[in-house]
Amino acid sequence: MFDKKILITGATGQLGTEVSQLLPNAIKTASKDLDITNQEQVNDFINDNKIDKIINCAAYTATDKAEEDEEQAYKVNALGPKNLANTGCKIIHISTDYVFNGFRYRPYSPTSTPDPLSVYGKTKLQGENFVLQYATNPIIIRTSWLYSAHGNNFLKTMLKLGTERKNLNVVSDQIGTPTYAKDLAQALVTILPHINEKTNGVYHYSNEGVCSWYDFATAIMQLYNLDCKVNPIFSSEYTTKAKRPLYTVLDKTKIKQTFGLEIPHWIDALKRCLNEIQK
């Protein structure tokens, strides 16, 4: 197996869990096992375990909390990736659609100019820049609206609220694409053997298709047969500490052409995830 010398950081998160299931022989760490914000600890761990490839799924993802906890968000989202990149390992680093401001209203390509609106987006962009600067063979994959059967995410929240309430308000003016973590994990495993100087750079991955959070929530209720009416509202009616970009559909042409990926539509992905939850 080619996964003997692979490190998966953030292995207990929703994406890390999915990647870990596909790479059972990889070395898996959560923050309690390895502090990626400590360069010396990272170097020792990499050397002791003879790691040569890293999939960095570790991130500070509490978007609103990051507005008040910028120091910790910076440590995990920027300094951590820098430390991992500094080891000389080949690295796949996961980033986010929140590096964009969302004013564009046509799909963002990997070469589109980032302009994050939030601390979360800014620290993730700093992490990207560090990885590109310091890693020998960097691959950065920006994704959007990640969900799975594991952990906390929008889908799980909707299922909970959909069983408790008859009505629910969800924003309809934030447009993007949900991404099933299992599909992204499969893409990462496909890409892993092909990391070299020709594939270095930034890529985008989400499921295919476009929707609003309102559309996503409505589909969840319908497919799970929940008797809960979803009402569309504007972002201005639902205040959050962190500014969200209004449009972050990702152009996936580069990742499909470079690695020969076929990407499922978000509705098909959602059906598969709900089936997994029901089981």
| Active site positions, annotated | 120
200 phi/psi in degrees, rounded to 5: -55, 145
Going by C-beta distance under 8 Å and a sequence separation of 6 or more, which residues neighbour residue 278?
none
Residue 142: CB atoms within 10 Å: 26
* CA dihedral over 209, 253, 251, 198, signed as positive or negative: positive
Q: Which residues of 66-76 are buried (b: 16+ CB within 10 A; e: fewer)?
A: bbeeeeebbbb
Q: How far apart are CA 87 and CA 43, in angstroms?
A: 6
Calculate the CA 26 to chain-centre distance: 20
Helix H, strand E, coil C: the string for 132-197 is HHHCCCEEEEEECCEECCCCCCHHHHHHHHHHHCCEEEEECCCEECCEEHHHHHHHHHHHHHHCCC
Calculate the CA 260 to chain-centre distance: 20
Calculate the CA 258 to chain-centre distance: 20
